[in-house]
């Protein structure tokens, strides 16, 4: 990505500086990897080893038992079926909610940045306020609104909730991206008589691949990891995986089995990790294209 | 049309909630809403509540350290990753992956790492350093720093890529000029490059600040507000009072206070936005 | 335009999902019993209910806050669950007095339920003269658990007073063990403080102090003594104590690493799950007192008003299943509680449960635990105070007593 190394020659000798640089990078990598390694290593221990104490010790006799328990037989209520039942629900909630909230954010951001409304900035600020409301404060009003639309505890309802709660975030990111896009591009299209949506679809969207990926990934993690909204708004048939995860990890009055808890945590995080590893490349390019340039 | 529709939705949900919460904060509602007006009683109760005041102070301490720390660490990573290193994409992925991990899992894993008996301290002692002490998690005066560590761990990667992007957008001619002038690298960054990236940094601050104000999951998973009330936060205060402590009125007052507080903190950003773009 | 379309599609999806075919006698149960012993207890009820021909929809959420949030949201959104597992706290009184709960006065009269419940239990289940909740089991807070092998090895007999208990703990500490295992969450700590109030003051004083919150009771020297004992217990905390969950703490006693633990009788479930036998591997006593009290916490089901006919029938059927003596006995066995019906055969329960049943039946011994007696807000503030006093050793007993009095008088 970089063609030349800018600002060559540091104050130190080049070799010493290089060494220091890698020492820092490796130390940082260790800092970032430590918790993940800890969780994975403990999820592979049998209960006897967990009781020994030291969480940082490596497993002596690694086993996938805890993973199997977490996946299909840990108790989550009346049923003891692990996190498996929620996997499909999580996918079917997350995918449409990510797509809609991302596209809607793009549309809003574009409108605010490129169409000269009178109070576009003011509107953006009003939308941004949404980033600072603790969302537990929004539960009750949201329940009332959804039930008046007969969407409370339905599949459509949970998607709508995720879209709405995500809009301030996605709108902000897109708006700040489109502010940096030269106006001439969309003006040319409009001169030829293209409508707002048409301009957006044929001119703006193709420019935005990178930012789309960035926002989609951020939304994916947010929605995938949500627990409370899923519990309240999804309804019994659509409960996401995080509900089962919480029921396994969080039972305050039962015997603790940390290895199963850790395995359950890793299993539920796998889809987001995959998404990151696969699209990390686009992620950085997307940002590099100016995603969050205030 | 469609856009107006979306803004309408946002207005209904968010501002509807703010209005409703504001109204609730003026009532003595407990579990379910109750519409008997009692004036500003709940706010008086709120600001004479010891735990609330401690929570606010904690939020400021945590917020400043978390935002400054994440920015500094993320920037450092970005600057170093920009020095044309080997395996850049591998390092980048390692630094970025924590963002994929939920805050609950982040908090739990750090609690395990920092556990004085079974975690890091125990390990080092077991290796022979009997006097090694790292018990911040259980020290009421230091526990809040462990939250900062976990928070930075979670968000530094995001800041890294945002800053990295900014760095790569810096004009090549600028670098040339810097080299011609013979300015030392660190001064070049501090005095020339970073000042030019102010808007990027401002965006980072807004995103991090939203984390601070709404921060709940991390505290719950890591310290549950303890030891004692040493790491209580305003969002946790509100949630506790909404549900377990069945005091909707007081919780609403806390939510409104948090909102006002965050708007005050953001005022400088809003102001500069207005000035620059209108 | 497209998005309007989308919304209407969602609405159609919504109504479709909501109109699934009605089945006879259905219950939708919102609860937080998800650990293995709790799951067993819930299954006991569910099995009995299903045998009677009912259909059970399970809505579990281990997180108590989230469970309550979900239940109230569902009531507000017009889709109430059939039954909510909860405790007879201020939340229950709130729901009942706002008319959200179905009462069971007719069934109670028919089944003669009042006669088979301890008066204090019966009182807690009634709000404004109506029976609005049904009990599944009675827990008590003020227990002390100990490891038999640890005490036997050091030739210590079961303590009868706090002094004996502390002397025993010192001995254990001197031998390299943990004298009193304590956990790190404020609710665990405040439990010890409450147990000290009850033990030192006795049940009548407890009622004056916690239930009636009379100014007279706040002047008693018992407050200072209790805070001193509480402070003394805190000095036994081992380095890993802060942040430790209650069951990890119990596990220290289970594995003979610690001598004693102050904890409610849900701890018994942990001993049983580890295959330990009461009276042989572990012992139990109520916090040492001249006149032992029994601070009870009841697990109850409340039944939000439903309009669907099959839902109403389902509730009735569930009520019958819960009150079934065999079900009550089985729940006590797996969960460590005591049956809420006094006419249940307790001979099969272990020695600890029998001590519990006997004390519950002793007139004047049983009192409401603070969690139920104090409004959620007050109990929360006392919990905050206890946590603060526990960790901040520079806080004086006098200052703590003063804050405590202020909290209790604040409403």
State whether C240 and C305 are in the same domain: no
Output the pLDDT for position A281.
66
C-alpha span between C29 and C52 (Å, rounded): 16
Q: How far is A79 from chain B, CA to nearest CA, in Å? A: 24
Decide: helix, strand or coil at residue C308: coil
**B232 contacts B55 by C-beta, under 8 angstroms:** yes
Output the pLDDT for position A280.
62
State whether C179 and C280 are in the same domain: yes
The answer, yes or no, to whether the previous bond of C303 is cis (omega within 30 of 0) is no
Is residue A150 less than 8 Å (CB to CB) from chain C?
yes
Give φ, ψ of A82 to 5 degrees. 65, -160
What is the rounded average pLDDT of the residues B168-178? 76
State whether C167 and C217 are in the same domain: yes
Rg of chain A over all Cα atoms, to the nearest angstrom: 24
Range of A198-207, A242-251, B55-64, B110-119 with top mean pLDDT:
B55-64
Output the pLDDT for position A293.
38
State whether C253 and C320 are in the same domain: no
Residue from C285, C282, C287 nearest C270 by CA: C282
Residue showing tokens 């109430």: C80
Q: How far is A253 from chain B, CA to nearest CA, in Å? A: 16
CATH superfamily of A86-288: MetI-like (1.10.3720.10)
pLDDT at B111 over 80: yes
Most C-contacting residue of B58, B223, B244, B250 (CB-CB within 10 A), to test interface: B244
Yes or no, beta carbons of C4 and B137 under 8 Å apart: no
B166 within a domain of the structure (yes/no): yes
Q: What is the 3-state secondary structure (H, E, C) of B102-155?
A: CHHHHHHHHHHHHCCCCCHHHHHHHCCCCCCCCCHHHCCCCHHHHHHHHHHHHH
Q: Could you tell me the two tokens for A187?
A: 């003006």
User: What rounded mean pLDDT belongs to chain C?
Assistant: 88
Residues of C in contact with B132 (CB under 8 A): none
CB-nearest to A145 from B12, B80, B82 is B12
Residues of B in contact with A148 (CB under 8 A): none
pLDDT at C62 over 90: no
Q: Could you tell me the two tokens for C301?
A: 């089901």
Structural domain of residue C204, as residue ranges?
143-295+365-408
How many Cβ atoms sit within 10 Å of the Cβ of residue C289?
Answer: 20
Output the pLDDT for position A53.
65
How many Cβ atoms sit within 10 Å of the Cβ of residue C111?
Answer: 14
B63 within a domain of the structure (yes/no): yes
State whether C75 and C162 are in the same domain: no
Q: How far is CA B128 from its chain centroid? A: 37
B28 within a domain of the structure (yes/no): no
C78 within a domain of the structure (yes/no): yes
C359 within a domain of the structure (yes/no): no
How many Cβ atoms sit within 10 Å of the Cβ of residue A110?
Answer: 25
Residues of A in contact with C39 (CB under 8 A): 75, 77-78, 80
Q: What is the pLDDT of residues C367-386, one digit of tens each?
A: 999 988 887 778 888 998 99
Q: In this prediction, what percent of chain B has a pLDDT beyond 90?
A: 22
Instruction: Please tell me which residue of chain C has the smallest CA distance to B229.
Output: C388
Residues of B in contact with A141 (CB under 8 A): 13, 16-17, 20-21
Decide: helix, strand or coil at residue A12: coil
Residue C10: band (very low, low, confident or very high) from pLDDT cuts 50, 70, 90: very low
Output the pLDDT for position B275.
63
Yes or no, beta carbons of B227 and C68 under 8 Å apart: no
pLDDT tens string, chain A, 294 residues long: the values are 333 444 444 444 567 778 888 888 999 999 999 888 888 888 998 877 876 666 777 888 888 988 998 898 887 888 888 888 899 999 999 999 999 999 999 999 888 887 766 778 788 888 888 888 887 888 888 998 999 999 999 999 999 999 999 998 888 888 877 876 777 777 777 788 778 888 888 888 877 776 787 788 889 988 998 888 999 999 888 999 988 888 887 754 455 677 888 899 889 989 988 888 777 666 554 444 444 433
User: What rounded mean pLDDT belongs to chain B?
Assistant: 84
Q: Could you tell me the two tokens for A50?
A: 């967990």
CB-nearest to A143 from C64, C76, C266 is C76
Output the pLDDT for position B126.
75
Domain count, chain C: 2
CB-nearest to A292 from B162, B242, B273 is B162
What is the rounded average pLDDT of the residues B261-278? 72
C-alpha span between C326 and C331 (Å, rounded): 9
Q: What is the pLDDT of residues C96-139, one digit of tens each?
A: 988 899 999 999 999 999 999 988 899 989 999 999 999 999 99
B86 within a domain of the structure (yes/no): yes
Yes or no, beta carbons of B135 and C94 under 8 Å apart: no
B44 within a domain of the structure (yes/no): no
Q: What is the pLDDT of residues B197-220, one digit of tens each?
A: 776 777 788 888 888 987 888 888
Rg of chain B over all Cα atoms, to the nearest angstrom: 23
Residue showing tokens 């697990």: C299
Most A-contacting residue of C8, C41, C44, C61 (CB-CB within 10 A), to test interface: C61
B33 within a domain of the structure (yes/no): no
If you ran DSSP here, which 8-state letter would residue A1 be given?
-
Q: How far is B103 from chain C, CA to nearest CA, in Å? A: 16
pLDDT at B278 over 50: no
Q: Which residue has the higher pLDDT, C348 or A266?
A: A266
C residues 265-294 lying closer than 8 A (beta carbon) to A? 266, 269-270, 273-274
CB-nearest to A156 from C11, C28, C38 is C11
Q: Could you tell me the two tokens for A77?
A: 């209520």
Look up the ipTM and state it: 0.81
Is residue B239 less than 8 Å (CB to CB) from chain C?
yes
* Least confident piece of the model among A240-254, B19-33, B240-254: A240-254
State whether C284 and C402 are in the same domain: yes
Q: Could you tell me the two tokens for C222?
A: 């018992």
Output the pLDDT for position C5.
52
| Domains in chain A: boundaries | 86-288
C-alpha span between A94 and A272 (Å, rounded): 11
What is the rounded average pLDDT of the residues C306-331? 92
C residues 7-66 lying closer than 8 A (beta carbon) to B? 64-66
Output the pLDDT for position A294.
34
Residues of A in contact with C15 (CB under 8 A): 150
Residue from B120, B125, B82, B114 nearest B227 by CA: B114
H-run or E-run covering C228:
helix C222-234
**C215 contacts C157 by C-beta, under 8 angstroms:** no
**A30 contacts B202 by C-beta, under 8 angstroms:** no
Q: How far is C222 from chain A, CA to nearest CA, in Å? A: 31
B5 within a domain of the structure (yes/no): no
Output the pLDDT for position A93.
96
C101 within a domain of the structure (yes/no): yes
Residue from C243, C191, C371, C407 nearest B230 by CA: C243
**B79 contacts B189 by C-beta, under 8 angstroms:** yes
Most C-contacting residue of B17, B30, B217, B230 (CB-CB within 10 A), to test interface: B30
Most A-contacting residue of C73, C244, C371 (CB-CB within 10 A), to test interface: C73
What is the rounded average pLDDT of the residues C286-297? 92
* Least confident piece of the model among A195-204, C51-60, C212-221, C359-368: A195-204
C355 within a domain of the structure (yes/no): no
* Least confident piece of the model among A267-281, B254-268, C180-194: A267-281
C-alpha span between A46 and A55 (Å, rounded): 12
Output the pLDDT for position A7.
43
Q: Which residue has the higher pLDDT, C262 or B112?
A: C262
Would you say the C-alpha torsion B33, B36, B41, B45 has a positive or negative sign?
Answer: negative
Is residue C394 less than 8 Å (CB to CB) from chain B?
no
- Domain of C106: which CATH number? 3.40.190.10
Is residue C277 less than 8 Å (CB to CB) from chain B?
no
State whether C382 and C280 are in the same domain: yes
Q: What is the pLDDT of residues C271-289, one digit of tens each?
A: 887 888 999 999 999 999 9
The alpha helices in chain B, defined as continuous H runs, are: 2-10, 16-24, 41-47, 50-81, 88-96, 103-114, 120-126, 143-168, 172-181, 185-187, 194-196, 198-214, 217-222, 234-242, 248-277
Instruction: Please tell me which residue of chain B has the smallest CA distance to C188.
Output: B228
Residues of B in contact with C381 (CB under 8 A): 49, 51
Residue from C295, C200, C282, C188 nearest C241 by CA: C188
Most A-contacting residue of B6, B119, B222 (CB-CB within 10 A), to test interface: B6
* A-B C-beta contacts closer than 8 Å: 253
Would you say the C-alpha torsion A130, A135, A138, A142 has a positive or negative sign?
Answer: positive
State whether C287 and C369 are in the same domain: yes
Yes or no, beta carbons of C377 and B246 under 8 Å apart: yes
State whether C218 and C245 are in the same domain: yes
B171 within a domain of the structure (yes/no): yes
Q: In this prediction, what percent of chain C has a pLDDT beyond 90?
A: 60
Structural domain of residue B114, as residue ranges?
49-277
Residues of B in contact with C375 (CB under 8 A): 246
- Domain of B176: which CATH number? 1.10.3720.10
State whether C34 and C177 are in the same domain: no
C5 within a domain of the structure (yes/no): no
Yes or no, beta carbons of C381 and B226 under 8 Å apart: no
Output the pLDDT for position A13.
57
* B-C C-beta contacts closer than 8 Å: 106
* Least confident piece of the model among A85-89, B135-139, C354-358: B135-139
Decide: pTM greater than 0.90.
no
Could you give the C-alpha distances from B72 to B77, B152, B157, B191, B215, in angstroms and in order?
Answer: 9, 10, 11, 16, 20
DSSP states of B215-234: --HHHHHHTTT-STTTT--H
Is residue A201 less than 8 Å (CB to CB) from chain C?
no
Give φ, ψ of C341 to 5 degrees. -90, 135
State whether C151 and C283 are in the same domain: yes
C-alpha span between C328 and C324 (Å, rounded): 6
State whether C302 and C291 are in the same domain: no
């Amino acid at each position: 990505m970089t063609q030349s190394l800018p600002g060559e020659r540091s104050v130190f000798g080049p070799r010493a500086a290089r060494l220091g640089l890698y020492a820092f990078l490796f130390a940082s990598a260790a800092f970032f990897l430590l918790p993940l390694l800890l969780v994975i290593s403990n999820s592979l221990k049998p209960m006897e080893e967990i009781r020994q104490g030291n969480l940082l010790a490596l497993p002596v006799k690694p086993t996938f038992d805890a993973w199997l328990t977490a996946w299909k037989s840990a108790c989550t209520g009346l049923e003891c079926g692990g996190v498996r039942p929620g996997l499909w629900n999580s996918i079917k909630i997350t995918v449409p909610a990510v797509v809609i909230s991302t596209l809607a954010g793009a549309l809003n951001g574009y409108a605010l940045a490129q169409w000269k409304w009178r109070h576009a900035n003011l509107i953006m600020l009003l939308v941004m306020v949404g980033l600072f409301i603790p969302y537990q404060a929004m539960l009750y009003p949201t329940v009332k609104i959804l039930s008046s639309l007969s969407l409370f505890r339905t599949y459509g309802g949970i998607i709508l909730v995720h879209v709405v709660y995500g809009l301030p975030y996605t709108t902000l990111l897109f708006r700040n991206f489109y502010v940096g896009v030269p106006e001439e591009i969309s003006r040319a299209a409009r001169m030829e008589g293209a409508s707002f949506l048409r301009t957006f679809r044929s001119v703006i969207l193709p420019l935005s691949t990178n930012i789309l990926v960035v926002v989609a990934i951020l939304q994916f993690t947010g929605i995938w990891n949500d627990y409370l909204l899923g519990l309240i708004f999804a309804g019994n048939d659509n409960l996401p995986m995080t509900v089962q995860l919480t029921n396994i990890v969080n039972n305050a009055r039962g015997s603790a089995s940390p290895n199963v808890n850790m395995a359950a945590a890793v299993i539920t995080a796998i889809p987001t990790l995959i998404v990151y590893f696969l699209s990390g490349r686009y992620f950085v390019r997307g940002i590099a294209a100016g995603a969050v340039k205030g | 049309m469609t856009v107006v529709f979306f803004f309408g939705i946002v207005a209904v949900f968010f501002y509807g909630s703010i209005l409703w919460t504001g109204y609730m904060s003026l009532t003595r509602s407990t579990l379910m809403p109750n519409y008997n007006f009692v004036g500003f009683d709940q706010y008086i109760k709120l600001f004479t509540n010891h735990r609330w005041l401690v929570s606010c102070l904690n939020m400021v301490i945590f917020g400043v350290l978390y935002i400054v720390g994440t920015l500094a660490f993320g920037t450092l990573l970005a600057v170093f990753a920009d020095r044309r290193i080997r395996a850049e994409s591998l390092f980048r992925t390692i630094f970025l992956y924590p963002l994929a991990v939920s805050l609950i899992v982040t908090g739990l894993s750090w609690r395990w790492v920092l556990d004085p008996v079974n975690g890091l301290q125990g390990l080092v002692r077991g290796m022979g350093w009997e006097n090694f002490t790292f018990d911040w998690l259980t020290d009421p005066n230091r526990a809040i720093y462990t939250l900062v560590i976990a928070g930075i761990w979670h968000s530094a990667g995001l800041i890294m890529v945002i800053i990295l992007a900014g760095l790569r957008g810096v004009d090549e001619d600028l670098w040339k000029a810097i080299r011609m002038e013979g300015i030392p690298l660190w001064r070049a960054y501090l005095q020339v490059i970073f000042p030019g990236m102010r808007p990027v940094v401002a965006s980072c601050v807004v995103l991090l600040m939203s984390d601070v104000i709404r921060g709940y999951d991390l505290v719950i998973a890591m310290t549950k507000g303890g030891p004692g009330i040493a790491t209580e936060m305003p969002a946790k205060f509100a949630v506790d009072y909404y549900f377990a402590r069945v005091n909707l009125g007081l919780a609403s007052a806390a939510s409104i206070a948090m909102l006002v507080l965050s708007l005050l903190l953001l005022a400088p950003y809003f102001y500069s936005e207005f000035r620059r773009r209108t | 335009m497209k998005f309007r379309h989308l919304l209407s599609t969602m609405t159609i999806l919504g109504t479709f999902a909501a109109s699934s075919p009605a089945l006879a006698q259905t219950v939708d149960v919102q609860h937080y019993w998800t650990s293995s012993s709790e799951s067993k207890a819930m299954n006991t009820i569910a099995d009995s209910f299903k045998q009677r021909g009912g259909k059970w929809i399970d809505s579990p959420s281990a997180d108590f806050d989230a469970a309550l949030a979900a239940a109230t949201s569902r009531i507000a959104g017009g889709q109430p669950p059939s039954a909510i597992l909860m405790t007879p706290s201020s939340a229950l009184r709130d729901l009942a007095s706002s008319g959200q709960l179905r009462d069971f006065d007719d069934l109670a009269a028919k089944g003669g339920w009042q006669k088979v419940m301890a008066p204090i239990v019966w009182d807690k289940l009634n709000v404004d003269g109506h029976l609005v909740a049904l009990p599944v089991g009675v827990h008590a807070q003020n227990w002390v658990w100990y490891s038999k092998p640890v005490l036997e090895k050091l030739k210590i007999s079961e303590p009868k007073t706090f002094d004996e208990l502390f002397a025993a703990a010192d001995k254990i500490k001197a031998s390299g063990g943990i004298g009193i295992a304590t956990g790190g969450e404020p609710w665990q700590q405040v439990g010890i403080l409450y147990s000290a109030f009850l033990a030192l003051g006795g049940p009548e004083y407890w009622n004056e102090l916690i239930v009636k919150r009379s100014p007279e009771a706040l002047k008693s020297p018992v407050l200072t003594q209790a805070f001193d004992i509480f402070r003394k217990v805190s000095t036994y905390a081992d380095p890993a104590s802060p942040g430790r969950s209650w069951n990890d703490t119990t596990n220290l006693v289970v594995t003979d690493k610690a001598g004693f633990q102050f904890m409610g009788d849900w701890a018994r479930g942990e001993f049983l799950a580890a295959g330990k036998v009461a009276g042989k591997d572990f012992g139990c006593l109520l916090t040492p007192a001249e006149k032992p009290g029994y601070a009870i916490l009841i697990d109850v089901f409340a039944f939000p008003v439903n309009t669907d006919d099959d839902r109403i029938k389902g509730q009735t059927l569930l009520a019958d299943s819960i009150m079934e003596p065999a079900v009550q006995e089985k729940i006590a066995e797996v969960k460590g509680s005591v049956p809420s019906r006094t006419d249940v055969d307790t001979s099969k329960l272990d020695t600890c449960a029998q001590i519990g049943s006997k004390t519950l039946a002793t007139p004047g011994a049983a009192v409401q635990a603070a969690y139920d007696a104090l409004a959620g807000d007050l109990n929360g503030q006392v919990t905050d105070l206890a946590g603060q006093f526990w960790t901040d050793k520079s806080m004086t007993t006098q200052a703590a007593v003063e804050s405590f009095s202020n909290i209790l008088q604040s409403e």
